[in-house]
Amino acid sequence: MKNVGKLSAGWLGDLPQAFVERLVAIGRWVRKDQGQIIYGIGSDDTNLYGIASGTARMQMALNEHEQRLSHVIGPGFWFGENELVSGEARMLEFAAATGMSLLQITRTDFQNLARDVPDAWRWIALLAGQHLITAIGAADDLMLPSSEKRLAAVLLRLSGNRLGHPRSPSIAVIPVTQQELAIAANLSRASAGRILRKLETSGEISLEYRAVMIRDFNALSARIL
């Protein structure tokens, strides 16, 4: 139970303590190794998940597009609320980028809790609203005319420093390839590589194997202003 506090570094920390205690009490701790799928697109998994430790990669394949990286999440992030409510098949895929500890809450257990605490659905609506703000903000960033600003905005969002919950810890090492960053910022691979090398030379990032380390969040943020 030592990881319970880390679950509150986001949505859970906004809720009444009495409800938090009851929610955590009905959960089950699960471990995921690096590379393991938490759930995939089309899965009938309808659980709610909260991250206590580790990071995960979120992928989507909406409209006519192939599956691609859309976000990176870490401690304090909760997800799965859409299918918790609807009971429908999953629209996204989440996979462990590192070893992870998660709290899993089944749809049935949550429904039982909500019968005693009707406000439970209100708190789920709050979670969905927080995620909507992140999604709208990401779309807004893609309309930035500057390629450099677009890429900087994506890096900050993936690290939890743009549009994320203010209490959530930063993800200093983002598990993302340069090709994935290029797609996420709507850039060619060559253009993204050129900007990333510039940011590395200035000391704002380090390019790692299939990852980017953020070294100076403030300087990177200043590029968008």
Per-residue pLDDT of 19-74, as tens digits, reads 999 999 999 999 999 999 999 999 999 999 999 999 999 999 887 778 999 999 99
Who contacts 58 (Cβ-Cβ below 8 Å, separation ≥6)? Answer: 69, 70, 71, 72, 73, 79, 92, 93, 94
Could you tell me if residue 213 is left (phi over 0), alpha (psi between -120 and 50 degrees) or otherwise beta?
beta
Amino acid (1-letter code) at residue 7: L
> How long, in residues, is the chain?
225
Question: Phi and psi (nearest 5°) for 206?
Answer: -130, 135
Q: At what angle do helices 107-116 and 120-141 cross, to 10 degrees?
A: 120
Structural domains of the chain, ranges and CATH numbers in brackets: 4-139 (2.60.120.10), 145-222 (1.10.10.10)
| Each residue's pLDDT expressed in tens, for the chain with a length of 225 residues | 456 778 989 999 999 999 999 999 999 999 999 999 999 999 999 999 999 999 999 999 887 778 999 999 999 999 999 999 999 999 999 999 999 999 999 999 999 999 999 999 999 999 999 999 999 999 999 999 999 999 999 999 999 999 889 999 999 999 999 999 999 999 999 999 999 999 999 999 999 999 999 999 999 999 999
With a threshold of 0.85, does the pTM exceed it? yes
Q: Order the strands of the 100-105 sheet from edge to edge.
A: 28-32, 100-105, 48-53, 78-79
Cα 147 to Cα 135, 142, 161, 215: the distances in Å are 19, 9, 19, 20
Residues 70, 60 contacting (CB under 8 angstroms): yes
